[in-house]
Amino acid sequence: MPDKAHAATAGPVEAPVLVGTSPLGKFGFPYAGRVDLEFSGEVWFWRGPSPYHFVSVPEDESAELQETVALVTYGWGMIPVEARIGATRWTTSLFPKNGGYVVPLKDRVRNAEGIDVGDTVTVRLAVTI
């Protein structure tokens, strides 16, 4: 067991390494503070106990998001994002679903942009790391 005199001069302490993350994402973007994604998808409706409209994040973009999840999730794999469709911006959290993610669409967003089930929309997401 080292004594206290040697503990203070034992040398530099290395920073912890986050397992499962890399400095570059799948598409080569450095995770320096923000990941921006853009994709198009069809709006669908979930009729569960809390009905809601969603857009599924495509497989490649979901893989990119998966690389950030350990750095940003607040639990259950949820990823907080800034989202935009057309001129409407809002904050939300992506839900994990079937190995990917879905973007929940608030009624105010759908109403402002005239979006209905079956419409194809372009979604822009920003994940702050």
Token pair of 78, please? 């949820």
- When pLDDT is averaged across residues 52-75 and rounded to a whole number, the result is 93
| Whether domain 34-128 has CATH 3.40.50.2300 | no
Q: In the predicted model, what is the mean pLDDT of residues 76-86?
A: 96
Q: For the residues of 52-120, what is the DSSP string, one character each?
A: EEEEEPPHHHHHHHHTTHHHH--STT-EEEEEEETTEEEEEEEEEETTEEEEEE-HHHHHHHT--TT-E
Mean predicted lDDT score pLDDT of the chain: 83
What are the structural domain ranges in the chain?
A: 34-128
For residue 6, give the H/E element and its range. Answer: helix 4-7
Q: Report pLDDT digits (tens) over 9-49.
A: 444 444 333 333 444 554 455 555 889 999 999 999 999 88
pTM: 0.73
